A and B are shown apart, each in its own frame.
Chain A
Amino acid sequence: MKLLKNVTAPTQKLIRTVAAVVLVYILMEILIAAGCISSLIQGLLVPVCTYSIAAVALNLCVGYLGELSLGHAGFMCLGAFASAYFSKLTADTIPDVPRFILALIIGTAVAALFGFLIAIPVLRLKGDYLAIVTLAFGEIIKNVMNVIYVGKDSVGLHFSMKDQLSLGMSVDGKMIINGAQGITGTPRQSTFTVGVVLLILALIITSNFVNSRTGRAVKAIRDNRIAAETVGLPVSKYKLIAFTLSAAIAGVAGVLYSHSLNSLTATTNNFGYNMSIMILVYVVLGGIGNFSGGIIATTVLLLLPELLRGMADYRMLIYSIVLIALMIFNWSPDVQKWKAVNGLTLDGIKARFSKNKEVQ
């Protein structure tokens, strides 16, 4: 560990997290090569990466900006559709690798752009209102995606928000976005390797962000907005930056998602309010503000139902109970007092162990 001595504590933590991710990745690759992993679990590897990235994005918003967003599935949806649209449009003209990179950039940029546009009005609100408006935006995005029709023929692109017929395409026309049926035939390029690379990238960007000058300002605003404003921090600007970055990373998750499926549709379960809550569950169970915790929670919660088939019916019920219990255990003033009295806080436990050492 001598090598790590010269770097700061947050960087050490980041290096450890990334190393753990890489180790797990190598281990999984070896196990797959050895044939020890069932195809069911293999099919879950890309979703684990996708939702881990989404959890990292939401964690940035909830843990560091201190505002609850219930619309992150909406940003995923934008990233997914924008990138799938681009990939399908250019499937014949651009080779695979540059196309995926371009699609990634486009998906991220679109999600970031909308995140920025939405953040301008939304961040004027606080707390419950902010949560409900992000929820509203998420639902609007999902709804609008379901009525967009885009087709391509020899003349060019056709766009409509009514139905397929009103596009008025010639015979050789090909649907690209087909309303509620979404986009079909996106090239499937999201492999486990790509997912892990993107996850590590997201981790590096967010960890550096929260420990940068801007990130410290964001944390100061979260802890006390009025005090931060008093010392001259431009509150709106920093909040805007953090929210836009969070939306952009959710967009990356969307790109990964859309390129792992043959047909992409916007339904309640994948891009609606339910998904936003599912991501929130990952974040809360992993620990608000803790990126690696969020990744672990995502991995466990996605793999668990496959490993415990019989529990499938009770899975969601248990999640909800754990969510409530965790919130009460971590935040209730009464429970905190009880924990302090019984020495169950982090400091209390540490003190207990160090005492034992002195006795020895």
Chain B
Amino acid sequence: MGFLTYLINGLSLGSIYAIIALGYTMVYGIAKMLNFAHGDVIMIGSYAVFMTMANSGLPAVVSIIIAIVICTALGVIIEKIAYKPLRKATNLAVLITAIGVSYFLQNMALLIFGSNPIVFKSVINWKGITVAGLTISGITIITIVTCIIIMLVLTWFVKNTKPGQAMRAVSEDKDAASLMGINVNATISLTFAIGSGLAAIAGALYCSAYPTLTPYTGSMPGIKAFTAAVFGGIGSIPGALIGGLLLGVIEILGKAYISSQLSDAIVFIVLIIVLLVKPAGILGKTIHEKV
């Protein structure tokens, strides 16, 4: 395998990180909270795809749509039950609650689906193309294309539609936004809905590329995608794309050229260096603390 293959694999993995990172970055931008449970929503989405496609024999597109609906509902319910009562509470309380939700989803999945890893059947049955002796698999191409489409649509949505503008307004200043007649609660719910829906897509793509599914599958990509969101600048949609792609490439190249066992460590070292050198990330805005 040459450098180019690694690079393309890295971009593909990075695209998945970018889609997950969108969920983190939008929620963080609006609710100012780290939604630790986001990674586990991915896992639930993957199980939903697996159950509907492999077990019930539905076509891949239908099962992904079902998974999106389930995850969207799940995201909104989690927000309403666990996070909404704590919206004005301290950061620490919200963070611990989010960890509790993450733990809850993992153990729920453990009870329902068991701890045995499931071999995930890919949602894409396309062999891929060969360009100049370089084979690019179908899943890689679809992943990258999906990521680009999602980015374009989401950027358009946030810039040009009423709900999108409401989201930007709420992330700037909740009180001012509510004085302008924006329904803050509905906007936050919408953000959770979009983020969780994207998590379902990310779950299907992630498990198609790495086809073992356990109740703990979501936590690692979740944490790495958060790293990607921080890397790109939290709260910024193009930042999530850049951060995700960079992180994916770093991880795959690190695995190939440095050490396969240390690839996670390499990703986390990148996070630490970024946070120390440029805490606002590549595209993030520095917020000055008011006394």
- Chain A residues at the B interface, C-beta cutoff of 8 Å: 62, 66, 68, 121, 124-125, 127-129, 131-133, 135-137, 139-140, 143-144, 146-147, 161, 226, 268, 273, 277, 280, 284, 313-314, 316-317, 319-321, 323-324, 327-328, 330-335
With A and B bound together, what is the CA distance between A129 and B32 in angstroms?
A: 12
Min CB distance B271 to A, Å, is: 5
Check A136 against B219 for contact (C-beta < 8 Å).
Answer: no
A324 touches B90 (CB 8 A): no
Residue of B nearest to A324 (CB): B100
Q: Are A128 and B33 in contact (CB under 8 A)?
A: yes
Considering residues A66, A268, A324, A331, which has the most beta carbons from chain B within 10 angstroms of its beta carbon? A324
Closest chain B residue to A327, Cβ basis: B97
Which of chain A's residues have a CB closer than 8 A to the CB of B103? Answer: 277, 316, 319-320, 323
User: Do A333 and B97 have beta carbons less than 8 Å apart?
Assistant: no
* Residue on A nearest B90 in the bound complex, by CB: A331
Q: Name the one of B89, B93, B101, B279 contacting A125, with C-beta atoms under 8 angstroms.
A: B279
Inter-subunit contact B275/A133 (CB<8 Å): yes
Closest to A62 in B: B92
The contact string, 1 if C-beta is below 8 Å from chain A, for chain B 208-250, is 0000000010010001001100100000000000000000000
Q: Which residues of A contact B133 (CB under 8 A)?
A: none
Write out the residue numbers on chain A whose beta carbons fall within 8 Å of the beta carbon of B88: 333
* Contact indicator B261/A284 (Cβ below 8 Å): no
Smallest distance from the beta carbon of B230 to chain A beta carbons, Å?
Answer: 7
Minimum distance in angstroms from A130 CB to a CB of chain B: 9
Tell which of B34, B216, B265 touches A144, judged by Cβ atoms closer than 8 Å: B265
Q: Which residues of A contact B279 (CB under 8 A)?
A: 125, 129
Q: Is the CB of B110 within 8 A of A128?
A: no
Q: Which residues of B contact A320 (CB under 8 A)?
A: 100-101, 103-104, 107
Residue B1 is within 8 A (CB to CB) of chain A in the complex = no
Interface residues of B in 68-95 (CB under 8 A from A): 82, 85-86, 88-93, 95
Structural contact, A129 and B291, CB atoms closer than 8 A: no
Cβ–Cβ contact A136 & B271, under 8 A: yes
Q: Which residues of B contact A131 (CB under 8 A)?
A: 34, 95
| B93 and A128 contacting across the interface, CB-CB below 8 Å | no
On whether the beta carbons of A68 and B107 are closer than 8 Å, the reply is: no
Tell me which residues across on chain A come within 8 A of B107, comparing CB atoms: 316-317, 320
- A284 x B268 contact (CB < 8 A): no
Residue of B nearest to A330 (CB): B93
By a CB distance below 8 angstroms, the chain B residues around A319 are 103
Say yes or no: A137 contacts B219, CB within 8 Å: no
| A33 CB → nearest B CB, Å | 38
* Cβ–Cβ < 8 Å partners of B82 in chain A: 324, 328
B259→A280 contact, CB < 8 A: no
Q: Closest CB-CB distance, A222 to chain B, in whole Å? A: 10
Could you tell me if B265 and A129 are in contact, using CB atoms closer than 8 angstroms? Answer: no
The reply to whether B262 and A321 contact each other, CB–CB distance below 8 Å, is: no
Q: How far is the CB of B290 from chain A (nearest CB, A)?
A: 10
Interface size class of B (residues with CB under 8 A): 35 or more
Q: How far is the CA of A316 from the CA of B107 in the complex (A)?
A: 6
Query: Closest CB of chain A to B82's CB: distance in Å?
Result: 5
User: Which among B96, B106, B265 is the interface contact of A280 at CB below 8 angstroms?
Assistant: B96
Q: In whole Å, how far is B24's beta carbon from the nearest beta carbon of chain A? A: 10
B268 touches A136 (CB 8 A): yes
Assess whether B118 is interfacial by the CB under 8 Å rule.
Answer: no
**Cβ proximity bits B5-49 to A, threshold 8 Å, 1 near / 0 not:** 000000000000000000000000000011000000000000000
Closest residue of chain B to A128 (Cβ to Cβ) is B34
Say whether, besides A66-B92, A136-B268, A332-B86, A323 and B223 are in contact (CB < 8 Å): no
Is B108 in the interface zone, CB < 8 Å from A?
Answer: yes
Residues of B within 8 A of A132 (CB): 34, 223, 226-227, 230, 271
Contact B100 A121 (CB under 8 A): no
Q: Are B110 and A316 in contact (CB under 8 A)?
A: yes
Extra pairs beyond A284-B96, A330-B93, A335-B85 (14, CB < 8 Å): A127-B92, A128-B95, A131-B95, A133-B275, A140-B265, A144-B265, A317-B104, A320-B101, A320-B103, A321-B100, A323-B97, A323-B103, A327-B96, A332-B85
Q: Which of B86, B262, B264 contacts A331 (CB 8 A)?
A: B86
Instruction: Tell whether, in the assembled complex, residue A68 and residue B96 are in contact, meaning their CB atoms are under 8 Å apart.
Output: yes
Q: A68–B219 Cα gap in the complex (Å)?
A: 18
Set of chain A residues within 8 Å of B101, measured between Cβ atoms = 320, 324
Whole-angstrom distance between the alpha carbons of A284 and B99 in the complex? 12
Bound together, the chains give a CA A20 to CA B271 distance in angstroms of: 44
27 chain-A/chain-B pairs, Cβ below 8 angstroms: A62-B92, A125-B275, A131-B95, A132-B223, A132-B226, A132-B230, A132-B271, A136-B271, A140-B265, A140-B268, A143-B261, A143-B262, A143-B264, A144-B265, A146-B261, A147-B261, A273-B223, A277-B103, A280-B99, A316-B103, A317-B107, A320-B104, A321-B100, A321-B104, A323-B103, A330-B93, A333-B88
For residue A135, give the distance in angstroms from its CB to the closest CB of chain B.
7
Is the CB of B269 closer than 8 A to any CB of chain A?
Answer: yes
* B contact residues around A144 at 8 Å (CB): 262, 265
B111 within 8 A of A: yes
A141 CB to closest chain B CB, in angstroms?
9
B276 at the interface (CB under 8 A from A): yes
* B272 in contact (CB, < 8 A): yes
In the complex, what distance in Å separates the CA atom of A324 from the CA atom of B86?
11
> Min CB distance, B89 to chain A, in Å?
4
Q: Closest A-chain residue to B81, C-beta based?
A: A324
Q: How far is the CA of A91 from the CA of B219 in the complex (A)?
A: 40
